[in-house]
Amino acid sequence: MKTFLAKILFFIILFNNSFLNAEINIQAKTAIIQDYLSGKILFEKDPDIKIYPASMTKIMTTIVAFELLNNGEITLNEKFVISEKAWRMSQSGYSSMFIMLNDEISVENLLKGIIIISGNDACVALAEGISGSEEEFVVLMNEKAEEIGMNNTNFSNSSGIGDSNNYSTVRDILKMSNHLIKNYPEYYTYFKETSFTWNRTGGDPITQGNRNALLYENIGVDGLKTGFLTVEQYSLASSILRNGRRITAVGSGFKSKSARKKESRKMLLHGLSKFDTVEIAKKNEIFSSLDIWLGKKSKVDIYVKDDIYITVAKRKKKTITAYIEFNGPIPAPIKKDAKLGVLNIFLNDGLFAQHDVFSMEKIKKVNIFSSLIRSFNFFVWGDV
């Protein structure tokens, strides 16, 4: 058996790590920018220092609810009774949905109250309705955080109101934001709604606007969540989708609402304008084909099990090379999903990534008579 290399060329733009933080200066205590598809970090500024996430905590509150919705454990139409604890949150000067004691409010309205208008009262009501108490709900939040890989995070309440035991990092908030976008796309659409009118029981309807000012600029921003605490100042987890590319950014320690908006816009547009993301292969789709020996088909289609994207800076055009390395000739029979080789991706002649490639189909071996004829032809004429 010999090792063969099947070469594939991708004409894209060379990535250079030195460009990561070039040409951008973010006025925040801590910040991070990531290309959603490739996972490449495009900028970071002290991304692992401890922060108090304030209302960005509500992203996890909604994730817990979304998972229960997907599992059929709760429904959007299900109603929860408002406790005195939840009601008092609307009387204390916090951002509120202005729920009323003993009212019954649907899960969907509570979610919109949390996501769109950042209602702390809605957070407590949802938490109590799901788990019986906010304390028990927080257990679910921390379990989910551990599952996602938020290694420097601890939640102590469902709303993010001031508590020294409710802490995180912008890197962890980024992980949480991307988890929500990826796993709950049907509910993520709530985050881009600019206002919510709650037709409350026994009172006039209340309309409030979304606190994420970037949603009103029509640049493609579709989430996620603002935050404010006096000790932390202003924060924002944001995401933009344009021409199939998504950039997600998190910043904390902005000096004002205006700075939060301006600097977050700068981060998102930096990711879009200074970098390109190139699709190399889509998971479970035909990527290429390889020659086989003594099979009922002459080639076998191959695929990779993960989406493969590369994000590169827009400064210098170069060539990415990719080789499928395999032992050949590949003899039939071939099982479906059998590993046949490795896709090696090189950037500027340096190995960048490796991905196993698998057979898309089952290929049977030809019968003995056909096998003898092919073997004779190969012996006489060679591989033609």
Catalytic residue ranges: 55, 58, 118
Helix axes 58-70, 107-115, angle to 10 degrees: 150
Name residue, tokens 């002459």: 298
The phi and psi torsions of 146 (rounded to 5 degrees) equal -65, -40
Which one, of 8, 4, 60, 5, lies nearest residue 322 by Cα?
Answer: 8
| Dihedral of the alpha carbons of 93, 94, 100, 103, in degrees to the nearest 10 | -170
Concatenating the DSSP letter of every residue in 59-126 gives HHHHHHHHHHHHTTSS-TT-EEEPPHHHHHHTTTTS------TT-EEEHHHHHHHHHTT--HHHHHHH
Is residue 161 classed as helix, strand or coil in its secondary structure?
A: coil
| Contact (CB, 8 A) for 80 and 126 | yes
| Contact (CB, 8 A) for 293 and 308 | no
